[in-house]
C-alpha cells in the first residue's frame, strides 16, 4: 500500500500501517506537497518489485 495522508487521523493511520504492521510506504504528507513523477515511480517499484522492502511487505500480508 502506498500512503498519502492529507488530514485528520490519516497521518496516524499511515504511520501505523508503515511502522507497526509493515504493509505501507508513505508517499507524501499533506495537501500542499510538490510531487514528481520519478518519486511516484520509485515508490511503486519499491512495493511491486522484488526489493527487500517489497518482500517484507508481502510477507506481512501472508502472501
Task: Write the pLDDT tens digit of every residue in 3-43.
Answer: 999 999 999 999 999 999 988 889 899 998 888 999 989 98
What 3-state class would DSSP assign to 6? coil
User: What value does the CA radius of gyration of the chain take, rounded to a whole number of Å?
Assistant: 12
Question: pLDDT-derived band of residue 63, with 50, 70 and 90 as boundaries?
Answer: low
- Residue 25 has φ and ψ, to the nearest 5°, of -125, 125
- What pLDDT was estimated at residue 10? 95
Query: Which residue shows C-alpha cell 511503486?
Result: 44
Q: Are 38 and 28 in contact (CB under 8 A)?
A: no
- What pLDDT was estimated at residue 37? 92
Listed in order, strand segments (DSSP E) in 1-63 are: 2-3, 25-26
Dihedral sign from CA coordinates of 9, 18, 23, 48? positive
Amino acid at each position: 500500500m502506498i500512503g498519502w495522508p492529507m488530514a485528520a487521523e490519516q497521518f496516524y493511520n499511515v504511520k501505523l500501517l508503515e511502522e507497526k504492521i509493515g504493509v505501507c510506504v508513505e508517499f507524501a504528507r499533506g495537501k500542499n506537497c510538490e510531487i514528481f513523477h520519478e518519486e511516484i515511480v520509485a515508490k511503486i517499484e519499491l512495493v511491486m518489485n522484488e526489493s527487500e522492502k517489497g518482500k517484507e511487505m508481502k510477507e506481512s500480508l501472508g502472501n
